[in-house]
Chains A and B, each alone.
Chain A
Amino acid sequence: MTAELSVELQHAVKVIELVRKLAGRDAEAEVTVRHQALALTRFANSMIHQNVADATTSVRLRMHLDGRTATGSTTVTGVDGLRALVERTIAAARVSPPDAVWPGLAKPAALHISAGHPGSGPDSGLNFGFDEATARATPAERAARVRSFVEAAGGLETAGYCRTVYVSAAFANTAGQAVEGRTAAAAMDGIARVDGADGVARLAAARLDDLDGAVLGARAAAKARAAREPIELPPGQYEVVLEPVAVTDLLQNFAVFGFNGKAYAQKQSFAELGAAQFDPSITLVDEPLGSRDEPAPGLPFDDEGTPAHPLVLVREGVTTAVAHDRASAAEVGAVSTGHASATSRTWGPAPGHLRLEAAPVTGEPLPDDGPVVGSARPLIARMKRGLLITDLWYTRVLDPRTLVITGLTRNGVWLVEDGQVTRPVGNLRFTQSYPQALGPGRVLGVGSESVLLPESWSEIQYSSPALHLASWNITGNASG
């Protein structure tokens, strides 16, 4: 905690004071102030075509007054704007129907910032993590990485983005909790294209300096070149190796639908605490604070002021936890795991920094080989006949309880025979239960390198190794 309050914490304290003044001392209130500077340099057809940045401060107030609850937010942070927010939220609370399930405010609690959280700040005593250079990255620095990506693709058509995000946030409530934190992160995601074939490379990092556009551009190009002239395969059950990029889709759907405390409370999740629902090789951890080796861009507290901390969701195949905010926790007699967000009361709390544990490292890391990323090579070598899948796309839930999902492959699929990549394959549609795919006995191997990967839509990131699975249900191909 810095000795001098951040601008965000000053705003939060001011709003709490206004609540006490305008609504009385019995009002319960919590305030989150978030300043985000997001910059994204986007390229297509091997040129920068969209180059954007914004710096926005938003203030969110949730108030519980006389048994009724209302939430308000604003980006107008002057004195008048904050006062208008408080007045509007009080007025909304007073005419709202009674809230029978208000879970109360988080009590003051210290943050868990000793694990090397990149947002620890200059006074934390930690000399690693938060990277000022990433927080203050310029358009020219992002453009330079784009240029490297484009050049490394060797004349192939390229598209993608380079992104930097800086967040400084604070939380305060009328119960006395007052915390702040900051974080910075970078990501790069691009494809190379040739003759109708696409290849992809993406990576997230706590430091922009750790993103090498040339390495990523070369990887994307290698995949695209190897994906030309694909064959078409018939639907059926296939043994597969999913590269880390594809595995992030599994983690994302597990996070949103499976380990979501509200979905669990409403019996709409597959999760059963204490049950061996996964193969023993699967251990899944939510790591909002990251570690020295694998920084994460999460803040050290959630939108209810609950300190964030690592949460083991699956340990050696046994489901051990789901993510909770205070409301979902109260519903099942649990405690908040620090996963409240602005939308968690409606959509449920979901883990945002999932890491699937990699297998122990044996030997030196292997370099990429053609279309195969290095960490997937040992898994490929053990496959008699199956598919190597780079990426999954447009996955949607058919049934939330069983987490049956349909979607497509993207950015490169190959047939593997006797441990060797033999032919590129056209994109395929699948319809597959994700928990079943990772069920006991279904995981034939886990890669030994976990890769930090950005989600395409938001600033969330996942850490994924490659996976070798016994079966994946292909239900369609390019012909239908």
Chain B
Amino acid sequence: MSHFDEAGAAVQAALDAGARYADARVMVRRTEAMTARDGAVEDLSSDESAGLGVRALVGSSWGFYAVPDLSDAAARAAGGRAAEIAAASASVPGPPVELVPGDPVTASWASDCAVDPLAVPLSDKGDLLVRATAAAKEAGADLAQANYSIWDTRKWFVSSEGHRIDQHFRECGGGVTATAIGDGETQRRSLPGQYGTRGWELIDELDLVGNAPRLAEEARALLTAPLCPSGETTLILGGSQLALQIHESVGHAIELDRILGWEAAFAGTSWLDLTRLGSLKYGSPLMNITIDPTFPGALGSFGFDDEGTRAAKRYAVRDGVWVGVLAGRDSAAVAGLDYAGSVRSEGWSRLPMVRMTNVGLEPGPHSLEEIIAATDDGVLMDVNRSWSIDDRRLNFQFGCEIGWEVKNGKRGRMLRNPTYTGIGPKFWASMDMLSSEVVAWGIPNCGKGQPGQVGHTGHPAAPARFTNVRVGVRA
């Protein structure tokens, strides 16, 4: 079943109402999510959402309107309404809006999927979560939780420039968490975020039941582990924590809409200055960050973004130098750049905006064991527990679930409440060892925009070492 006709009707109606450019997305999404707690299923939801969102450019002003009705009449009305809203924007106008050229593509794309996650019997899925939480509980967790989420999304995109693109995404992911409750504090251990544009095979690979007892034992052990020491030291980050570090201190900083001030009032701006694109030192020479929506199976993968730009790999940081941004067609034109390809919307009812795709760190020459062996005195931390960063994406503080002392090249005793803090470029400049063990981590809950949108982003990353980092910040 195709919805190109409805999207086309909305675009035409916007043009008829005075738009000089318009595009429309029909999206039909089925989602399924289950949570279990302490050996019993806690919640199961199966949702369907379908609608159309149309974006119109009238003069130099944008307007967007969305409806859950896929009839031809509703589509036409939505197109007209988007143009009407755009006209109202003109009362507080800005410079002319241009779009970098885009090929009017006609194409179809689907993500790879070995096992359709919606086709796996609910009873099997429930049994998996029940067994995982029971295993954690049996191993000493005071509270054991497990979950999975599945998104099955079909999109039909039409633009007034001639785009006609349909895409089918199947995404899923999940995890298990063990919590130990002590006298005055709690400790948590979980499988780090494993979400991808893949099928149920991803969940199978996680081995939720097999990992649950270890997580429970670690959570309980953390209650009596020594506190992470305070001071400056050598810091080794596990791959999943490095994924979040990339997301927060690189991914958001290279969003062109932030750099241009379009997000100034809420998400914030960026410390990056466009005049230094191509010359600014972002980090050490080991630092090579790519924007790569073609990365197989990662959570930020697609065939085309929500403006119809074909997926392509691009460097954001090369040999430690800032060389690229996440851009859309209008923001790229403002910045004088010739590429876009990073515009996405949460769903049919939200305006597409600049978003991360897969922003990842290319592999280094080492392994985690080599990094530990080369470290005389330091701390190893992994799996995020808290994250906070300023509105320019400079000053960050992250907490991890677990830490270990590293002494004389060996992993030592466990440390509780590990935290570290720093300033982005100074931190990245101190990266002196990088592993080759890349995993495509996924973050399914990236917030941005007003009204708020939740984005899915991918972050290929491997463990790395940083020097002279302040750790052990506490109240």
Contacts and interface: CB of A to CB of B under 8 A. Distances in A.
Nearest to A235: B473
B186 A400 contact: yes
B186 A399 contact: yes
A57 B473 contact: no
B349 A456 contact: no
B21 to A, nearest CB: 15
A44 B92 contact: no
Interface string A122-142: 000000000000000011101
B94 A53 contact: no
B81 A190 contact: no
Given A75-B50, A159-B265, A397-B386, A97 B473 contact: no
B61 A99 contact: no
Interface string B112-128: 00000000011100110
A349 B107 CA distance: 45
B146 to A, nearest CB: 12
Interface residues of B, number: 86
B475 A398 contact: yes
Contacts of B67: 54-56
B46 interface: yes
A48 B450 CA distance: 13
Contacts of A81: 48
Interface in A61-106: 69-77, 81, 84-85, 88-89, 92, 95-101
B408 interface: no
B335 interface: no
B374 interface: no
A54 B66 CA distance: 5
Nearest to B473: A475
B424 to A, nearest CB: 10
Interface residues of A, number: 97
B51 to A, nearest CB: 6
B404 interface: no
Nearest to A35: B68
Nearest to A140: B88
Looking at B43, B67, B422, B447, which has the most chain A CB atoms within 10 Å of its CB?
B43
Contacts of A444: none
A81 B45 CA distance: 16
A433 interface: yes
A97 B261 contact: no
B249 to A, nearest CB: 12
Interface string A369-401: 000000000000000000000000111111111
Nearest to A394: B388
A139 B85 contact: yes
Interface stretch (A143-151, A278-286, A351-359): A143-151
B181 interface: yes
A47 B92 contact: yes
B389 interface: yes
A431 B475 contact: yes
A137 to B, nearest CB: 11
Interface of B: 35, 40-51, 53, 61-68, 81, 84-95, 121-123, 126-127, 130, 142-143, 147, 179, 181, 184-186, 260-266, 268, 349-351, 353, 385-391, 394-395, 397, 399, 417, 419, 421-423, 426, 447, 450-452, 470, 473-475
Interface of A: 38, 40-58, 69-77, 81, 84-85, 88-89, 92, 95-101, 138-140, 142-144, 146-147, 150, 157, 159-161, 163, 189-191, 193, 198, 200, 266-268, 345-346, 393-402, 404, 406-408, 410, 427, 429, 431-433, 436, 456-458, 473, 475-476, 478-480
7 contacts: A48-B88, A69-B43, A73-B48, A95-B126, A394-B390, A402-B185, A406-B399
